[in-house]
Amino acid sequence: MKKLFLLFALFTVCFNVFSQKKEDILQVMARQQNNWNAGDIEKFMEDYLKSDELQFIGSKGIVKGWQATKERYLKSYPDRATMGQLKFDILEVDFHSKKTAWVLGKWYLTRPEKGDVGGYFTLIFKKVKGKWLIVSDHTS
């Protein structure tokens, strides 16, 4: 009986840790969506690793580095009409270790003036100094 209790307690702790990590990632995604919808690319970029190691992979190729990724967003979305309203649909969150996560999802931009667009994304997160940051973004 004692072993069963210990096993249950261990399972409960592991489940709670996983649930909290997943909730932390989902909070990042919600913050990103809100910052985008506020038209604030500067704040949107705060959830990306501010480093030359950051990678963005899109339909036009690979962009390396935080500054280059930011410039890509500013060029691709120069105004509110082009930015539209963003909605994420998170399909999967998977943790590869205590400090890395993989997120699969869909994105939708509602843009009445420019036409709606959408696609899929895969994000790799890394926990850096207690904060989950995107280190790789593959969006199509």
pLDDT bucket at 3, cuts 50 / 70 / 90: low
pLDDT in tens, 114-124: 999 999 999 99
Q: Identify residue 36 by its one-letter amino acid code.
A: W
Place of tokens 């932390």: 24
33 and 88 in contact (C-beta within 8 Å)?
yes
* Domain residue extents for the chain: 2-139
Please answer whether residues 39 and 25 qualify as being in contact, where contact means their C-beta atoms are separated by less than 8 angstroms.
no
- How far apart CA 116 and CA 106 sit, in angstroms, is 14
Helix (H, G, I), strand (E, B) or coil at 94: strand
- Domain 2-139 is found in CATH 3.30.70.890: no
Q: Are 135 and 57 in contact (CB under 8 A)?
A: no
pLDDT tens column, 4-14: 444 444 444 44
